[in-house]
């Protein structure tokens, strides 16, 4: 029942909230009568979930499990180290070795096996793999960067899991940057900074996710800088992710940026169509869902390049088919995905595209709409029209109207020309990719 609850929550909540608070939870299915025991990675997450989401979780649980009295509770822990059914022994509950107390926060669901390789992520994947095989020796730090939803976190966990598979007991700590920040604030408040620092001394590898979060937080950066140095000197592996190239993150200290450059920085690019389809098929297979190839193509074609959105669409589809008791045919998918796709396309307007394209080429929007046909204007204008066709659900005549009252054949011609050039003109391709990403992020 938990995966189903989760997919509901995912569609109800802003992605950041979902990822920060609900995604890290693990569910223990062994409870009876449809009850649910959730494990939170730490007290912080537990308190938050209890305060803000537990009531809704219980509602959903009752709905999807069919048990009207189903209950849910939450504790700190993880499935891997869930206490074995006590058999009276071990009167002293805390007699376990300190090693066993180490919480990695790694998500075992993310592995190299279930990471679909494509041209867009090959280098990042291979770097993460090498680092996991030779922690502290191959590249330190390893930094993965790229926009949201492209698999950075997935690769990071995969590397952590592989390290621990190779060297059981290795202390790999995964932390989101928010967690680093809030743990540090807590330590400052409670005057326990020494303890805060010490906890990093005993890790063999630190995986810190989304460091762009540190931008503008000077004290956190300073603390992280020291942590970084200590780990680096101790040859402890550091893996970091960032949503763009760190040099481009404003509010990140120069000395930190230069440290990051000591290791290897690799980008993950948005997946191409084939990779998107392959990812969908792989996710479906993993969930035991029968997904026809055509449906995978349909989703891959209609949902941009963000893998998280692809998964969201797949989840929606699976949930709807489940409730309708129908198989996932192309017709069913078309119907079910209509809302998802529309929401996607609506977010981007023609005006928005014109603004972004004009900014990019340092033109004025009025220039794009004007009748002037100089080369410097014509190409950006054609690109903007093509983006409008691809990213909105407006018709050709509507787009023509939006571009200063042009004829729909002009728009059609622009789209054909740009699509042809995209295959042959590298510079145009690069501009296009950047604009596309700017608009779909």
Residues 154-183 that bind ligand ADP (CB under 6 A): 154
By CB atoms closer than 10 A (0-12, 13-18, 19+), residue 51 is exposed
Q: Which residue is nearest to Mg ion (CB)?
A: 153
Q: Which residues contact 30 (CB under 8 A, 6 or more apart)?
A: 37
Task: Give the residue carrying structure tokens 């760190």.
Answer: 246
Cα–Cα distance measured from residue 117 to residue 307, given in angstroms and rounded to the nearest whole number: 13
116 touches which of ligand ADP, Mg ion, none (CB within 5 to 8 A by kind)? ligand ADP
Residue 152 binds ligand ADP (CB under 6 A)? yes
307 touches which of Mg ion, ligand ADP, none (CB within 5 to 8 A by kind)? ligand ADP
Residue 128 binds ligand ADP (CB under 6 A)? no
Nearer to Mg ion, 141 or 400 (CB): 141
CB of 437 to Mg ion, least distance (A): 16
150 touches which of Mg ion, ligand ADP, none (CB within 5 to 8 A by kind)? ligand ADP
CB of 310 to ligand ADP, least distance (A): 7
CB of 179 to Mg ion, least distance (A): 13
CB 70 within 8 A of CB 49: no
Residue 281 binds ligand ADP (CB under 6 A)? no
CB 381 within 8 A of CB 371: no
Residue 311 binds ligand ADP (CB under 6 A)? yes
Residue 150 binds ligand ADP (CB under 6 A)? yes
CB of 243 to ligand ADP, least distance (A): 7
DSSP state of 13: S
115 touches which of ligand ADP, Mg ion, none (CB within 5 to 8 A by kind)? ligand ADP
Which range in 82-90, 113-121, 182-190, 312-320 contacts ligand ADP by CB under 6 A?
A: 113-121
Q: Give rounded-to-5 percent helix, strand, coil for the chain.
A: 60, 10, 35
**How big is the site for ligand ADP, counted in residues (CB under 6 A)?**
16
Which range in 47-55, 172-180, 304-312, 343-351 contacts ligand ADP by CB under 6 A?
A: 304-312
Instruction: Please give the residue ranges that form the binding site for Mg ion (CB under 5 A).
Output: 152-153
279 touches which of Mg ion, ligand ADP, none (CB within 5 to 8 A by kind)? ligand ADP
Nearer to Mg ion, 15 or 34 (CB): 15
- Residue 37 host element (H or E): strand 36-40
CB of 114 to ligand ADP, least distance (A): 6
Residue 148 binds ligand ADP (CB under 6 A)? yes
Residue 276 binds ligand ADP (CB under 6 A)? no
CB 277 within 8 A of CB 300: yes
DSSP state of 244: S
Residue 115 binds ligand ADP (CB under 6 A)? yes
Bridge-partner residues for 27, per DSSP? 38
Q: Which residues contact 70 (CB under 8 A, 6 or more apart)?
A: 1, 33, 34, 35, 36, 58, 61, 62
Continuous H helices in 150-272: 152-166, 177-189, 193-201, 218-233, 254-260
432 touches which of Mg ion, ligand ADP, none (CB within 5 to 8 A by kind)? none
Cα–Cα distance measured from residue 99 to residue 231, given in angstroms and rounded to the nearest whole number: 19
Alpha-carbon distances of 188 from 197, 198, 302, rounded to whole Å? 11, 14, 48
Residue choice 104, 121, 179, 227 for contact with ligand ADP (CB under 6 A): 121
CB of 52 to Mg ion, least distance (A): 21
Residue 211 binds ligand ADP (CB under 6 A)? no
Binding positions are: 149, 151-153
Nearer to ligand ADP, 303 or 399 (CB): 303
Continuous H helices in 246-374: 254-260, 273-286, 293-302, 307-324, 330-346, 350-360, 365-369
Which range in 8-16, 114-122, 174-182, 317-325 contacts ligand ADP by CB under 6 A?
A: 114-122
- 49-58 own/partner pairs: CB under 8 Å, 24+ apart: 49/21, 49/22, 49/25, 49/74, 50/74, 52/21, 53/9, 53/21, 53/22, 56/9, 56/12, 57/5, 57/9
User: x/- binding map, residues 228-267, to ligand ADP, per CB under 6 A?
Assistant: ----------------------------------------
Binding positions for ATP are: 149, 151-153
CB 326 within 8 A of CB 332: yes
Could you list the residues that contact ligand ADP (CB under 6 A)?
A: 110, 114-116, 121, 148-154, 279, 307-308, 311
């Amino acid at each position: 029942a938990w995966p189903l609850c989760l997919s509901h929550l995912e569609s109800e909540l802003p992605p950041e909230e979902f990822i920060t608070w609900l995604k890290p939870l693990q569910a223990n299915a062994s409870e009876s009568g449809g009850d649910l025991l959730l494990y939170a990675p730490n007290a912080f997450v537990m308190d938050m979930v209890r305060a803000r989401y537990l009531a809704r979780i219980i509602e959903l649980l009752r709905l999807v499990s069919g048990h009207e009295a189903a209950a849910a509770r939450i504790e700190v822990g993880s499935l891997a180290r869930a206490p074995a059914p006590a058999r009276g022994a071990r009167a002293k509950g805390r007699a376990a070795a300190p090693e066993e107390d180490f919480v990695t926060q790694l998500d075992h669901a993310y592995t190299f096996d279930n990471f679909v390789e494509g041209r867009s992520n090959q280098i990042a994947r291979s770097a993460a793999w090498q680092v996991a095989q030779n922690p502290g020796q191959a590249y330190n730090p390893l930094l993965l960067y790229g926009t949201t939803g492209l698999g950075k976190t997935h690769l990071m966990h995969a590397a952590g899991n592989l390290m621990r598979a190779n060297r059981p007991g290795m202390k790999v700590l995964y932390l989101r940057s928010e967690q680093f920040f809030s743990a540090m604030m807590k330590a400052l408040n409670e005057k326990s900074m020494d303890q805060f620092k010490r906890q990093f001394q005993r890790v063999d590898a630190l995986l810190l996710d989304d460091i762009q979060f540190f931008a503008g937080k000077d004290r956190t950066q300073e603390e992280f800088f020291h942590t970084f140095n200590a780990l680096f000197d101790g040859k402890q592996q550091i893996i970091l992710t960032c949503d763009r190239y760190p040099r481009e993150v404003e509010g990140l200290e120069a000395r930190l940026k230069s440290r990051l450059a000591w290791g290897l920085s690799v980008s993950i690019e948005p997946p191409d169509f084939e990779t998107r389809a392959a990812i969908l098929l792989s996710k479906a297979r993993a969930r035991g869902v029968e997904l026809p190839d055509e449906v995978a193509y349909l989703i891959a074609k209609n949902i941009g390049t963000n893998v998280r959105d692809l998964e969201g669409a797949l989840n929606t589809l699976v949930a709807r088919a489940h409730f309708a008791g129908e198989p996932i045919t192309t017709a069913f998918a078309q119907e079910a995905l209509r809302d998802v796709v529309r929401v996607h396309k609506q977010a981007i307007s023609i005006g928005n595209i014109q603004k972004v394209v004009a900014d990019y080429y340092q033109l004025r929007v009025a220039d794009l709409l004007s009748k002037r046909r100089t080369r410097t204007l014509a190409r950006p204008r054609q690109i903007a029209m093509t983006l409008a066709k691809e990213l909105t659900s407006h018709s050709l005549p509507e787009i023509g109207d939006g571009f200063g009252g042009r004829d729909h054949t002009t728009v059609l011609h622009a789209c054909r020309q740009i699509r042809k050039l995209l295959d042959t003109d590298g510079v145009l391709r690069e501009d296009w990719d950047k604009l596309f990403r700017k608009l779909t992020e």
